[in-house]
Amino acid sequence: MALSVEGKHALITGAGSEGHANGYGAVDTGISLAFAQRLLQEGCSVVIGDLKLGAEAEALLGSYPHPPPAAGRPSAIFHKTDVTSWPQLASLFAAALAAFPTLDIVVPGAGLYDPPWSSFWQPPRTATNPDSASRDKADGEFGHYAVIDVNLVAPIRMSQLAIGHWTKRGQRGCIVHVGSVAGYLAEAASPLYFASKHGLHGFVRSLGDLRDELGIRTGIWYQDPGRADEILQGCKWLTVDEIVQAMFDLTVKAEYGNGTILEVTPGATRVVPMFNAPPPKPGAVHMPAMGAFHEKLFDDLRSSGLDV
């Protein structure tokens, strides 16, 4: 039996994104925004947390004004949030609960794919490494990598806040995380991104028992990699609709939600088993230009070493 999202309330980060075609095929970014739109279409109100609000997201908010013009209609609000700030995350939850009676669905969708300013191969700037593009701080006390903070720490903190809300109210809830094949493959080009997704997959699996014990569903949607990046040229792409459908299924299908990892690759969807999972379908994860990138990385490391 499927659950319904109608009349429910969702909090979703990363949905302020414009989304942009990657130039190689169908996949756009803007996954969270597309999911927010789907939830609203299904009658679920939405709170968007993001650094900024793009034109498309602003138009979506315009179509679902808050408070709604007629009772019972879904509405949407935006709360400017940097998810790496725990006070701002708390303020996001407070703003959501000031606007709506409760929260039923939480989607930590904000994510970073190894930007130069937080990439393992651009170590934090020091006297011996003055030209690094990194904005992570070498003298950080405590030390931080932004990619880990956005992709892993923030989703964990949001889950904690959501579970607190639901257990204190004796209420059911659902958390949909955004994973990646990076959650169980390995790649030297983007070790921080891969580590963040491995961590997230383990976190989601670990909360699997909450469904049957507490009625709190947790799941992760993941797809083959895609991003507007030259190393991904030639990949097969999913459409945003396929992605959004998988995230929606994760939210409403009763058989999911116990730490389910729902893998969606072009033409194939499966629940990834906990142990001895066969690799994704041959060809589903295919990054033809990665080889050259990989080779250059090791050439550079052999010839110049890594400045830290």
Ligand X SMILES: *[C@@H]1O[C@H](CO)[C@@H](O)[C@H](O)[C@H]1NC(C)=O
Ligand Y SMILES: NC(=O)c1ccc[n+]([C@@H]2O[C@H](COP(=O)([O-])OP(=O)(O)OC[C@H]3O[C@@H](n4cnc5c(N)ncnc54)[C@H](O)[C@@H]3O)[C@@H](O)[C@H]2O)c1
Write out the residues near ligand X by the rule CB under 6 A.
208, 255, 258, 274
Q: Which does 173 bind (CB under 5 to 8 A by kind): ligand X, ligand Y, none?
A: none
- Angle, in degrees to the nearest 10, between helices 55-63 and 31-41: 10
Q: Which of 225, 259, 266, 280 binds ligand Y (CB under 6 A)?
A: 225
In angstroms, the CA 36 to CA 39 distance is 5
Q: Dihedral of CA 91/93/94/96: which sign?
A: positive
Q: Judged by CB, which is closer to ligand Y: 84, or 302?
A: 84
Residue 105 dihedral angles phi and psi, to the nearest 5°: -130, 130
Q: What is the smallest separation between the CB atom of 298 and ligand Y, expressed in angstroms?
A: 25
Q: Stretches 107-115, 207-215, 261-269, 284-292: which one binds ligand Y (CB under 6 A)?
A: 107-115
Q: Residues binding ligand Y: what is the number (CB under 6 A)? A: 30
Rounded to whole angstroms, the Cα distance separating 117 from 121 reads: 10
CB 306 within 8 A of CB 299: no
Closer residue to ligand Y (CB): 68 or 202: 202
Nearest to 265 by CA among 205, 197, 179: 179
What's CA 127's distance to the chain center, in Å?
Answer: 35
Among residues 1 and 55, whose Cβ is nearest to ligand X?
A: 1
Task: Specify whether the CB–CB gap between 276 and 96 falls below 8 A.
Answer: no
> Which residues are CB-neighbours of 20 under 8 A, at least 6 positions away?
28, 29, 30, 228
Site for ligand Y (CB under 6 A): which residue of 10, 14, 39, 201? 14
Q: Which CB sits closer to ligand Y, 110 or 174?
A: 110
Q: Which of 43, 73, 84, 138 binds ligand Y (CB under 6 A)?
A: 84
Contact indicator for 212, 2 with CB cutoff of 8 Å: no
Q: How many beta carbons lie within 10 A of that of residue 70, not counting itself?
A: 6
- 3 state DSSP class of 265: strand
83 binds ligand Y (CB under 6 A): yes
Q: Which does 265 bind (CB under 5 to 8 A by kind): ligand X, ligand Y, none?
A: none
x/- letters, 20..59, toward ligand Y (CB under 6 A): -------x-xxxx-----------------xxx-------
Residue 258 binding partner per list ligand X, ligand Y, none, with a CB distance cut-off of 5 to 8 Å that depends on partner kind:
ligand X
Nearest approach, Cβ of residue 184 and ligand X (Å)? 15
Given the complex with ligand Y, which of 30 and 259 has the nearer CB atom? 30
Q: Which of 162, 210 has the CB closer to ligand X?
A: 210
Rg, Å, the chain Cα set: 20
Query: What angle, rounded to 10 degrees, do the helices at 86-99 and 154-169 form?
Result: 40
* Least distance CB 54 / ligand X (angstroms): 37
Nearest CB to ligand X, comparing residues 126 and 269: 269
For helices 31-41 and 240-252, angle between their N-to-C axes, nearest 10 degrees? 60
255 binds, among ligand X, ligand Y, none (CB under 5 to 8 A by kind): ligand X
8 Å CB contact between 107 and 35: yes
114 interface partner picked from ligand X, ligand Y, none, CB below 5 to 8 A per type = none
- Name the site residues for ligand Y (rule: CB under 6 A): 13-14, 16-17, 19, 27, 29-32, 50-52, 81-84, 109-113, 150-151, 178, 180, 223, 225-227
